[in-house]
Copies of this chain bind each other. A is one copy, B any other.
Amino acid sequence: MSTPATESVAPAVAAQQARRVAESARTPDSRVTPNAWFDSWFAAHQRRSGFQVTRIPFSRLSNWGFDPDTGTLAHDSGRFFSVEGLRVEADEQIGVWEQPILVQREIGILGILAKEFDGVLHFLMQAKLEPGNTGAVRLSPTVQATRSNYTGVHRGRAIPYIERFVAPRTGRPLVDTLQSERSTWFLRKRNRHMVVEAAGDVPEHQDFCWLTLGQLRRLMMRDNTLSMEACSVLACLPGARSLDAGPARHSLGEVISALCEVKARHEVGQHRIPLKEVTSWRRLDDEISRADGKYFKVIAAEVHADSREILHWTQPLLAPAAGGVAALLTRRFGAVRHVLLHARVEAGARDVAEFGPTVQCTPGNYGDVPAHHRPRFLDQVLSAPPQRVLYDTVQSEEGARFHHAESRYRIVEVGDELDDVPPEFVWVTAGQAARLLRHSYYLNMQVRTLIAALHALG
């Protein structure tokens, strides 16, 4: 790492960055992209023809195929991702199971370009089409790409602004950290979350617009508007620490210790196994699924598009069971807002467990289990009276890999009645969540999305 004098950064600069982010958050509209103009621009993108997605049998996939020995479903190039088998072995509480899992070695980039206009930071967002989305367009990071995408394996068009995020680059990173992605479906996958403040002029592009953090937070209140990827990156911006008006319930060391305890207790082992040997799952002509329909299916799709990097392709998609729920319970201790995190063991986690929301599940998977085995706090979240529901939107999982994967995201206020909580749950402040987000693998994708929403509530 070269060390020219201009790169020398005192803590004062970090504080200044936090102030600039806070200033952008306090700016609810902008001359650069006025809210009224944005709404019609985004509506126009929504009306565009978008994708036609058709389910096909696996035999009609081009350049994708099953390995005859293992059953692995992979691309001929060896890039993108593959569908393999995973056996998870843990203690009695967590149990032992097998499942298909997506494997992707490359680190994806989720990058947002930032720039000051009129003295206020704006963020360059993309109206992005993905085949798996319900309703075609999401407001997404400036760049969302893997090396396979931007080095030409995809044989598609160039990815706008990618050079701002790949070394050697210009500009200064405000955020640069690895964060996990959906570890119930992906094996040890992570994405590089970046916010880079642009050096020099940034050319315009019809599918992109500059918005303040205040404008973005307004859009977080709408169903299926900001992508989860966008929320996840925005959650990592510095500045949220100032939310804490008093002492936290636990020190940060205690919070980290609680996660450490969960990792040590369950002794989880992950073993890749041949996909064709995964117990309880079967491969049909057009899907890999369970007879009881639980959890998810792997399907094959043919996609026709008119505005993506290439115009026609086939690919596997993961289609989760319908009706996912991700929810944070929140309350104040003294004057300080806390949220209740759950240290969750997930099949594909890089290190056993991360903190997730208070509730993260697909209720349909629990239809046939006794009431006391239902996820903790699920009923409290679903039956909360309206005046206690601070946030309630529908979000879809990333549409390049997941098919019609909608979940309900909620933040629910509780009162003094919830004080002692079960093991593996812990109260943290918004400021502590922000400090954890400077590092990798503390907070999972779902809770990052909800933390972004929590900031939006102010």
Contacts and interface: CB of A to CB of B under 8 A. Distances in A.
Nearest to A271: B272
A446 B248 CA distance: 34
Contact of A3 (B252, B269, B421): B421
Given A3-B419, A263-B178, A267-B106, A8 B256 contact: no
A424 interface: yes
A64 interface: no
Interface stretch (A10-18, A28-36, A225-233): A10-18
A250 B350 contact: no
A107 interface: yes
Contacts of A181: none
B8 A250 contact: yes
Contacts of A438: 252-253, 256
Interface in A182-200: 190, 192
Contacts of A350: 350-351
A284 interface: no
Contacts of A351: 178, 190, 350, 440-441
A317 B148 CA distance: 41
Contacts of A425: 1
A422 to B, nearest CB: 8
A258 interface: yes
| Number of copies of chain A assembled together | 2
Contacts of A458: none
Interface string A420-440: 110111110000000000111
A420 B3 contact: yes
A383 interface: no
A1 B263 contact: no
Contacts of A253: 14, 173, 176, 438
Interchain residue pairs A-B with the least CB separation, the first 9: A176-B257, A9-B251, A10-B247, A1-B426, A107-B264, A105-B269, A439-B439, A2-B420, A1-B258
Interface of A: 1-4, 7-11, 13-14, 105-107, 109, 147, 167, 173, 176-178, 190, 192, 247-254, 256-258, 260-261, 263-265, 267-269, 272, 350-351, 419-421, 423-427, 438-441
